[in-house]
Amino acid sequence: MASQSALINVMQKASIAASRGLLRDFGEVENLQVSRKGPADFVSRADINAERTIRRELAKARPDWGFQMEEGGVIEGADKSAPVWVIDPLDGTTNFLHGIPHFAISIAVMETDSQGRRSITAGTVFDPVKNEFFFAERGQGAFLNGRRLRVSGRRHMADALFGTGIPFLGHGSDDDHATFLKQLGNVMAVSSGVRRNGAAALDLAWIAAGRIDGFWEKGLSLWDIAAGLLLVREAGGFVSDFASRDKALESGEVVAANPAIHGELMKILRR
């Protein structure tokens, strides 16, 4: 078991505080399915409340830092060099709305160097239903509930299981939808299978944990992937955009996998 740093403790405390409300609201969603208005407004309120709780907890611990949040947008830190919290209070919103118990709270720390380059230096992904807390700090490895993580050792596409995100109505252009279908056809024909679990932060955390061997998705936002990309890297995985560049964070295009599979997955996606 690894001991957690003070910073990870702060992130965990904020995640747990927000998860209490989320779990309570998740229990209500089932009852709301039958109401005429539907649960969508309720879920968006749950999302906003979770973000407020996280923000309050983090600001208490690091008053000078900035924020970049899915719901609340950008809040500048005390100065330009201050680290920024990148927050997705509820990744897997559609699952939550449908009563599917697979969602997470994702928090990352983003720092900017003197050349203006941004990088993620700490990240946590908390799945409150399974009580799984994934965390990583740059150069310190990735962990799940204190146990060190390592990406899978599977080397062959035929044994590999992939995660992905399927574009949907209002998410991605017609061209993106067509490209995705081609990519899916290519990967499913040569692999052990493809899953669409519905929470990108957890897809990435699950690569770090060796549960799935690779993942691809386009059109993701910074808060979906900031913590997850660090988890994959710190567990020994590779991350790139669709053109093999180190630009996943900036472009929202992610190809992530264990090192043995990443190159092959890139080739297959491009066919």
Residues of this chain that interact with ligand IPD (CB under 6 A) are 88, 90-94, 165, 198-200, 217, 219-220, 224
* Radius of gyration over every alpha carbon of the chain, rounded to an integer in angstroms: 18
Question: Which of the choices Ca ion, ligand IPD, none does residue 123 contact, using the CB cut-off of 5 to 8 A by kind?
Answer: none
Q: Which is nearer to ligand IPD, 19 or 93 (CB)?
A: 93
When asked if residue 224 is in the footprint of Ca ion (CB under 5 A), the reply is yes
Site for Ca ion in 3-32 (CB under 5 A): none
113-118 own/partner pairs: CB under 8 Å, 24+ apart: 118/249
Say how many residues touch Ca ion, by CB under 5 A.
3
When asked if residue 88 is in the footprint of Ca ion (CB under 5 A), the reply is yes
162 by DSSP, 3-state: which?
strand
Q: Which is nearer to ligand IPD, 127 or 260 (CB)?
A: 127
Q: How far apart are CA 256 and CA 254, in angstroms?
A: 6
- List the structure tokens of 59: 């600001």
114 by DSSP, 3-state: which?
coil
- List the structure tokens of 88: 């997705």
Provide, rounded to whole angstroms, the least separation between the CB of residue 207 and ligand IPD: 14
The residue written with tokens 């044994």 in the block is 159
Ramachandran angles phi, psi of 269, nearest 5°: -65, -30
Provide, rounded to whole angstroms, the least separation between the CB of residue 121 and ligand IPD: 22
Q: Where is 217: in which H helix or E strand?
A: strand 214-217
Provide, rounded to whole angstroms, the least separation between the CB of residue 91 and ligand IPD: 4
Q: Which is nearer to ligand IPD, 70 or 137 (CB)?
A: 70
When asked if residue 91 is in the footprint of Ca ion (CB under 5 A), the reply is yes
| CA proximity to 24, closest of 50, 1, 4, 3 | 50
Cβ neighbours, 10 Å, residue 34: 8
Question: Which of the choices ligand IPD, Ca ion, none does residue 165 contact, using the CB cut-off of 5 to 8 A by kind?
Answer: ligand IPD
When asked if residue 234 is in the footprint of Ca ion (CB under 5 A), the reply is no
Binding residues for Ca ion, rule: CB under 5 A, are 88, 91, 224
